[in-house]
Amino acid sequence: MTSSPHETRDDTPSAGRDAALGGAARAGGAPPEGRPAREAGDDSPEAVVTCTTEDAVAWLTLDRPHALNALTWDQRERLIGLLADASADDAVRAVVLTGRGRGFCAGADLRGGSGSNGSGSSGNDNSTGRTEPAAGQVARTVERGAQRLIAAVLDCEKPVIAAVNGTAAGIGAHLALACDLVLAAEEAAFVEVFVRRGLVPDGGGAYLLPRLVGPQRAKELMFFGDSLPAAEAARLGLVNRVLPAGELAGTARDWAHRLATGPTRALALTKRLVNASLDTDRSAAFAAEAWAQEINMTTRDAREGVASFAQRRSPVFEGR
């Protein structure tokens, strides 16, 4: 398989490409000051997917602007690893995911990775000279690639904010929508591009979208693949806040700071409860809530919250 269902430069089709980009934020999202600019032409995973931690906030930045921050398989693996690290690191209490340039993430670009399908197999049929996937290969590629990426966001124990600076297309749109909170620049747009390639959405799209906007709206987005401007995405409930490009990073920093100074374990349990509630019945949801309270009451932050209320002072949470 030589290309992905959410290929890089094709994720925003040439027809209407300018409308989709809409002059998106040229500066893109901005992580903490002081990170050196990467060398031009360096598309290594470490250069393209950067991590900077400031005040207990991990800033994960996609820095491949010439490809609208499309991800090769090895860059995707680094992002998955960084999300797992942030989830397990007690020094990290919130995560911001953003991009540089005109795009947030234009999808997956397997052409820049090792192996044409992301699983180390070329899928080449030597008898015909054609490159075709073996039976089961496409499913394995999706499961091990796009779905693992989205699961890494959903399963991260720290709250994850998407600061969507520009176009989010294909798996890039799902990457943003899997985050707990979504901030978007006015120029940003979301594109369910799969149908334009004759393909089925992957990366959890058919799981995420109906839960966010209902089945009819989800089908409309996926059946037509039209570019959805940030303002309309906010109206549908896909985005928490739409901001001028120059205010995006600052607002993301403010929100992340509030989360990073909050009761970290309580937030993790709340995230798990909300995510699980969409897939369970009331009885199971109520039981999960009761046990989450049981677990949370063993934390320092819960004891601090109760004590501060009794003492009529502001709580000081430690994330423990």
Separation in Å, CA 77 to CA 8, 152, 292, 303 = 17, 10, 31, 38
Tokens of 273: 């409860």
Residue 85 tokens, joined = 């690290």
Could you tell me which residue, 285 or 32, shows the higher pLDDT? 285
51 burial (CB, 10 Å; 0-12 / 13-18 / 19+) is buried
Tell me: the pLDDT tens digits for 15-29?
A: 333 333 333 333 445
Per-residue pLDDT, 236: 97
Tokens 């999706």 correspond to 142
The whole-model pTM stands at 0.83
pLDDT greater than 60 at residue 114: no
Beta-carbon neighbour count of residue 95 at 10 Å? 28
* Strand pairing class (160-164; 227-229): unpaired
For residue range 221-239, list pLDDT tens digits in order.
Answer: 999 999 999 999 999 999 9
Residue 120, pLDDT > 60, answer: no
Q: Which residues contact 104 (CB under 8 A, 6 or more apart)?
A: 29, 62, 69, 98, 162, 164, 165, 166, 167, 168, 172, 175, 176, 188
Asked if residue 311 has pLDDT above 60, the reply is yes
Q: Which two tokens stand for residue 32?
A: 């903490």
Tell me: the pLDDT tens digits for 177-205?
999 999 999 999 999 999 988 889 999 99
Are 159 and 83 in contact, with CB atoms under 8 Å apart?
no
pLDDT at residue 60, as a whole number? 98
Tokens of 117: 């399908």
Q: What is the mean pLDDT of residues 76-97?
A: 97
Three-state SS at 6: coil
pLDDT value for 197: 85
Q: How far is 267 from 287, CA to CA, in rounded Å?
A: 18
- Assign 131 a pLDDT band (cuts: 50, 70, 90): low
Q: What is the pLDDT of residues 238-278, one digit of tens each?
A: 999 999 999 999 999 999 999 999 999 999 999 999 999 98
Point out which residues pair with 131 in neighbouring strands: 124
Q: Are 105 and 172 in contact (CB under 8 A)?
A: yes
CA distance 181 to 156: 13
Q: Is the separation of the CB atoms in 22 and 104 below 8 Å?
A: no
